[in-house]
Amino acid sequence: MAATVETVDQVRALADDKYKYGFVTDIEADTAPKGLDESTVRFISAKKEEPEWLLEWRLKAYRQWLTMPEPEWAKVDFPAIDYQDAYYFSAPKTTEAPKSLDEVDPELLRTYEKLGIPLREQEMLAGVAVDAVFDSVSVATTFRHKLAEKGVIFCSISEAIKDYPDLVKKYLGSVVPYGDNKHACLNSAVFTDGSFVYIPKGVRCPMELSTYFRINAANTGQFERTLIIADEGSYVSYLEGCTAPMRDENQLHAAVVELIVLDDAEIKYSTVQNWYPGDENGVGGIYNFVTKRGACRGKNSKISWTQVETGSAVTWKYPSCILQGDNSVGEFYSIAITNNMQQADTGTKMIHLGKNTTSRIIAKGISAGKSQSTYRGLVRMGAKAKGARNYTQCDSLLIGDKCGAHTVPYIESRNSSAQIEHEATTSKISEDQLFYCRQRGIGEEDAVALVVNGFCREVLQQLPMEFAVEAQKLVGISLEGSVG
């Protein structure tokens, strides 16, 4: 495992505290051969003992993927991806699924401890059920029983395919079709694991559901597939947090998240993304190409996306809401922080189809160093969206004169009774505010973190408590070295 040793050395060489999640766990991976062709897709499907229809679906996606051009409209610039130079499947070497935490590889458990999520303690203290995704296969799921009492299904998508094939078949790809875009298409062909949540009618999920994603084995792109279904009158809050080891090669991550919300139900989806952003010179870092979309199918349904994006070298991500049901609500709260050479092109789409649908977009972008951050969004009022409303606010903060902040909103209205309001501002961090803080003895970096935290407050407030604390710290850490 030369690569691992190298990476570990590298991490040591770099300042350890700068990226405390940068380490690689030594677990022998059972990988598929390098590269991507039909046999890779068949290998993954066979390895996961999938039914025939899913293999067919994957193959269809793969064939379409071959014909699709790379999306080039985003304001991000990176070398072309060599899809043949990556592994598409790596599973931790456990032959049978563990029945309890004791059976989980101790090496893995130690990894989680470093990440600050000791599973066992969490079971008692945090009240958070974690479907831990380590590389591609989920290895431990807690609180299964407690959730099962309420009828909530929370498992890996591989298990769901085996245990609840009808639900999966009905909803998989119904919000993000396999041919939606190049990255989603690739995900459909080679997704290895992810989470599946089903909240039955009228159930309010008793705890926040959470998945920790880890990218581990070198050169393995990670293709997560998440499917969450909230049946009539149900509610769930889902947390997704990401960290990744420090390494020098760009890693591709193309996830797909699909949310389905029926009558009177609500899904709250929160993300903290803190993957390795590359070093000061833009070497290394994760490519984060994510397709997230939710469909408010039912009346009075609601989807709320909250994201704090601080990591990744390149972010390409547009969590969207399709507001089909009358009176449905879509929300998007976002903080995107870029520093050094990071590039982020992120935003949302709010597609209003039903009557009296409302949406709210609050996007805060902070650029520092030589980074570029773009808000790109679409608000569309369909001809039948009577009485629909949208409010959008995008604010950008610039720190330093080498970075860029861009706003590209698309606003389309085909209904006179629909009301759209859009506001965007761009300005630099206020000298007066910094001076005020400095005068009171607050260090420059802390002062910047304080001002930026204030700037993001509206979004940070939307996060569940556990995340809010972590996110506030992240905001400060991400901007280290941006002033002075």
Partner 1 sequence: MKQDNVMTTPFVSQYDNLKQALPGYSQPWMTTLRDRAMESFTQAGLPTQRRESWKYTNLRGLQQLELTERALEPQPISIDRAPSLLPEGTAHRVVFVNGGFRPDLSDLAGLPEGVIVGSVADLAEREPQRVEALLAAHSDVEDQPLVALNTAFMRDGLLLELEAGRKLDRVLEVIHVNSAENGVFAHNARNLISLGAGSEATILEHHTGLNGTAYYINAANDMTLAEDATLRHYRIQAEGTNAVHTSTMNGHLSGNSFYDGYTLSIGAALSRNETNMKLTAAGARCHLNGGYLMRDKQHCDTTTVVDHLSPQTSCREVFKGVLDDRSRGVFQGRIVVHPEAQQTDGHQLNKVLLLTDTAEINAKPELEIYADDVKCSHGCSAGEVDHDALFYLRSRGLSETSAKALLIQAFLAESVSEIGKEELQDLFLEKISDWLAI
Residues contributing to the site for partner 1 (CB under 8 A): 73, 381, 383, 386, 396, 398-428
**3-state secondary structure labels for all residues of the chain:** CHHHHHHHHHHHHCCHHHHCCCCCCCCCEEECCCCCCHHHHHHHHHHCCCCHHHHHHHHHHHHHHHHCCCCCCCCCCCCCCCHHHCECCEEECCCCCCCCHHHCCHHHHHHHHHHCCCHHHHHHCCCCEEEEEECCEEEEECCHHHHHHHCCEEEEHHHHHHHCHHHHHHHCCCCCCCCCCHHHHHHHHHCCECEEEEECCCCECCCCEEEEEECCCCCECECEEEEEEECCCCEEEEEEEEECCCCCCCEEECCEEEEEECCCCEEEEEEEEECCCCCCCCCCCEEEEEEEEEEECCCCCEEEEEEEECCCCEEEECCEEEECCCCCEEEEEEEEEECCCCEEEECCEEEECCCCCEEEEEEEEEEECCCEEEEEEEEEECCCCCCCEEEEEEEEEEECCCCEEEEEEEEEECCCCCEEEEEEEEEECCHHHHHHHHHCCCCHHHHHHHHHHHHCHHHHCCCCHHHHHHHHHHHHHHCCCCCC
Q: What is the largest CA-CA distance in the chain?
A: 68
Least distance from C-beta 332 to partner 1, angstroms? Answer: 17
In angstroms, give the least distance from the CB of 372 to partner 1: 8
CB of 365 to partner 1, least distance (A): 10
CB of 69 to partner 1, least distance (A): 12
Shortest gap between Cβ of 373 and partner 1 (angstroms)? 10
Question: Helices 182-190 & 38-47, crossing angle to 10 degrees?
Answer: 50
Based on CB atoms, which residue is closest to partner 1, 106 or 484? 484
Closest separation between CB of residue 73 and partner 1, Å?
Answer: 7
Nearer to partner 1 by Cβ, of 78 and 410: the residue is 410
Is 166 or 401 the residue whose CB approaches partner 1 more closely? 401
Identify which of residues 261 and 361 has a Cβ nearer to partner 1 in the complex: 361
Q: How far is the CB of 304 from partner 1 (least distance, A)?
A: 24
Q: Which is nearer to partner 1, 84 or 417 (CB)?
A: 417
To partner 1, the closest distance from the beta carbon of 346 in angstroms equals: 15
User: How far, in Å, CA of 103 to CA of 136, rounded?
Assistant: 18
Please say which residue, 34 or 402, places its beta carbon nearer to partner 1.
402
Do strands 329-338 and 358-368 pair parallel, antiparallel, or not at all (unpaired)? parallel
Query: Residue 480 CB, nearest distance to partner 1 (Å)?
Result: 18
Q: Of the two residues 227 and 368, which places its CB atom closer to partner 1 in the complex?
A: 368
- How far, in Å, CA of 480 to CA of 484, rounded? 10
Closest CB to partner 1 among residues 210, 478: 478
The distance of closest approach from Cβ of residue 384 to partner 1 in the complex, given in angstroms and rounded to an integer, is 9
Residue 408 CA to chain centroid, in angstroms?
Answer: 21
CB of 445 to partner 1, least distance (A): 17
Q: Are strands 235-243 and 266-274 parallel, antiparallel or unpaired?
A: parallel
Q: 17: buried, middle or exposed (CB in 10 Å: 19+, 13-18, 0-12)?
A: exposed
Nearer to partner 1 (CB atom), residue 151 or residue 400: 400
Measured from the CB atom, the residue of 25 and 343 that comes closer to partner 1 is 343
Of the pair 163, 412, the CB lying nearest partner 1 is at 412
